[in-house]
Amino acid sequence: MSDSRKCSRAEESQSMNPIVNKFVEAHDRYLELDRIRTECKNPAERESIHIAILRAYLEVQFHARQIAGLQYADGMDFADVN
């Protein structure tokens, strides 16, 4: 990630809800893992990357559900989880 993008992310994260921060961090981690997965050189490395990708995916989903729950609690009925 470029330095300017990191700076803007840092500035944005200061004003966001902590759960949203965790979602953004998990999503960035997922994207980075997905980007490097094609660079794996052996099966063991591929397996460990895929496990890390699955964990990051589950973390993103978990935080997305938390955000939807917060929206629902605030009276936003459209935030129902599918």
62 or 82: whose pLDDT is higher?
62
Residue 21 lies in a domain: yes
Residue 35 lies in a domain: yes
Residue 5 lies in a domain: no
Integer Cα distance of 28 and 2 in angstroms: 13
pLDDT level of residue 68 (50, 70, 90 thresholds): confident
33 or 14: whose pLDDT is higher?
33
Integer Cα distance of 60 and 31 in angstroms: 11
**Counted domains in the chain:** 1
Instruction: Give one DSSP letter per residue of 3-51, joined into a string.
Output: HHHHHHHHHHHHHS-HHHHHHHHHHHHHHHHHHHGGG--SHHHHHHHHH
**pTM, to two decimals:** 0.62
Residue 25 lies in a domain: yes
Domain interval for residue 36: 17-79
